[in-house]
Amino acid sequence: MHSSDFPIIFDNLKAILRPYEESPAVERDQPGDYSLNTHFIGPNKKPLFFGAVTIRKNYVSFHLMPVYVFPVLLEGVSPELKKRMQGKSCFNFRKLDEDILTELAQLTQKGYERFRSKEIIEKFLSI
């Protein structure tokens, strides 16, 4: 896909995060830039970041903070999805792949469930 297709990729990735808008708070919702926070207030007195989708120059980024906080969520992730990772919580896309999108949606759901559990509070209380 060409960069002119990035808005389509963005829309597909944003659709993965949209079901979680009611619990996390929408921080930004602009063309090419979408971000969600949780309602959990972290040690820095700010809402904990949940996820985001951003159009960049050469790819579309999907950030998912639960995999940073709980790296165990990445166990069993396919090599194809892992190959798209940059850093500890960012996945980059230049083209659409329905299987990868489905897997990312499942990973996002697991991350959401983990963030909703008391485990997130225990994690930050131990810092």
- Please state, in angstroms and as integers, the Cα–Cα distance from residue 33 to each residue in 57, 62, 80, 96, 120, following that order: 13, 10, 25, 18, 26
- Please state, in angstroms and as integers, the Cα–Cα distance from residue 40 to each residue in 43, 50, 77, following that order: 10, 10, 26
Structure tokens at 110: 């697991």
- CA 35 centroid distance within chain: 9
pTM: predicted TM-score of the whole model, two decimal places: 0.89
Nearest to 23 by CA among 50, 44, 42, 62: 50
Rounded Cα–Cα distance for residues 91 and 3 (Å)? 16
Place of tokens 């991350």: 111
Domains, the chain, ranges and CATH? 3-125 (3.90.1150)
Q: What is the pLDDT of residue 98?
A: 94
Q: What is the pLDDT of residues 14-63, one digit of tens each?
A: 999 999 987 668 899 999 999 999 888 778 888 889 999 999 999 999 99
